[in-house]
Amino acid sequence: MLRKRFKSTIGIYGYLVPTIIGLILFNAGAIVASFVLSFYKYDVITPAKWIGLDNYRWVLNSKLFWTAVNNTFKFAAGYIPLSVFLALGLAILVNERIKGVGLFRTIFYLPVVTSMVGVSMVFAWLFNPYYGLVNYVLGLFKITGPAWLSSPQWAMPAVILVSVWKTVGYYMVIYLAALQNISPELYEAAQIDGANRWAQIRHITIPVVSSTTFFVVIMCTMSSLKIFEQVYVMTQGGPANSTVTVNLLIYRNAFEYLRMGRATSMAYFLFAAIMIVTCIQFLGQRWWVHYE
């Protein structure tokens, strides 16, 4: 019996080996190497030179880095709540048994599988203040739209909107799975007690899917602190550095400005930020997350 168990454990580890080797070689290796490099002046093409904490000191004193931190948190502050609310809302809607619901699910999910580069180019057109469709439609309601991507004040909100539109379908699907696991008896009982639709959502749906919400919030937090692609394609960090994010700065320093050492020290700041925020979220979950 014991031997059999041992054998199957070996088997399980056997299956894990390829992944673990990959992780050690390509992830853990890179993580350790970049930590070491963050203490070096390193441009990749010539040998690295030890400079102690200089990279970290530079990063802390860099105005541009703090602008990037500020922008990144601004993005997170807009993106996370919008994604969670919209994803849950859409999931509740497409959980209804109505005709053509499959079509709606597909439509909302479609942006997730669309290339970000294409999406960004199309939205750059749509957001154009002079020729674009967004401000044209706003104009029909007698609203003068902002300059969106060419305005330092509105570029980040525009990037947030596009990002939410692009990814909300993914979180919708996750919520949908959670919703379909809710036992219908709960709703029946509530109905008998006279709870209306809104009360049912508030007192049954939201608490029951709170563990899913926790997961979605964590995922959204991580992806928003790492935001790169959208700003790289849509705004290149502009206008006037209003959409420069930490990850964009890391990329440019590492691969465009020949400052790999400095880029790795920024990456460690980012890593620390994600770590701390995620820990806080894990600690905070006991006040609002319910597991069945």
Partner 1 sequence: MRRTLVSFLVVVAVLGFAVVGYGQEEKVVLKYMTWVNALGAEWIQEDFIEPFQELYPHIEIQHEYVPFAEYWRKLMTTYAAGNPPDLMHMSVGYVYDYADRGILLNLEPYFTRDLSLEEYYAQPMKAVRYPNMETGDLYAMPYAFVMSVLHYNKDMFDAAGVDYPTDDWTWDDLLAAAKALTKDFDGDGKIDQWGFFFQPNYYTLDAAIYSFGGRVLSEDLSTAIFDSPEAEAAVQFLVDLMWEHKVSPSPQVYHGIGNLFEIGNAAMVIGNMADLDVYRNIDSFDWDVAMVPGGPATKVVRMWPDSIAIASSSKHPEEAWEYVKFMINSGKIDRYSGQRKMPIYRGLAESDEWMEYDKVPDKSVYIRAMEYGHPLDFRPNWGEWSAAREAQLEPAFLGQMPVQEAIRNAVEAVQEVLDDN
Residues in contact with partner 1 by CB under 8 A are 43-46, 58, 64, 121, 123-132, 147, 149-152, 237-241, 244, 252, 255-258
Q: Could you tell me the end-to-end alpha-carbon distance of the chain, in angstroms, rounded to an integer?
A: 34
The residue among 122 and 280 lying less far from partner 1, judged by its C-beta, is 122
Rounded least distance, CB 134 to partner 1, Å = 11
Alpha-carbon distances of 142 from 74, 126, 157, 183, rounded to whole Å: 29, 18, 21, 47
The residue among 189 and 240 lying less far from partner 1, judged by its C-beta, is 240
Rounded least distance, CB 170 to partner 1, Å = 26
Rounded least distance, CB 48 to partner 1, Å = 10
Rounded least distance, CB 228 to partner 1, Å = 14
Bridge partners (DSSP) of residue 41 are: 49
Q: Cα angle at 201 between 200 and 204, to 5 degrees?
A: 65
Alpha-carbon distances of 150 from 125, 236, 241, 247, 276, rounded to whole Å: 12, 11, 11, 21, 34
N residues, the chain: 292
The residue among 39 and 42 lying less far from partner 1, judged by its C-beta, is 42
Q: How far apart are CA 88 and CA 123, in angstroms?
A: 24
Rounded least distance, CB 161 to partner 1, Å = 14
The residue among 75 and 175 lying less far from partner 1, judged by its C-beta, is 75
Type of residue numbered 96: E
The residue among 56 and 215 lying less far from partner 1, judged by its C-beta, is 56
Kindly compute the dihedral angle of the four CA atoms of residues 182, 183, 188, 194, in this order, to the nearest 10 degrees.
Answer: -40
Q: Are 155 and 74 in contact (CB under 8 A)?
A: no
Q: How far apart are CA 280 and CA 267, in angstroms?
A: 20
The residue among 26 and 255 lying less far from partner 1, judged by its C-beta, is 255
Rounded least distance, CB 6 to partner 1, Å = 32
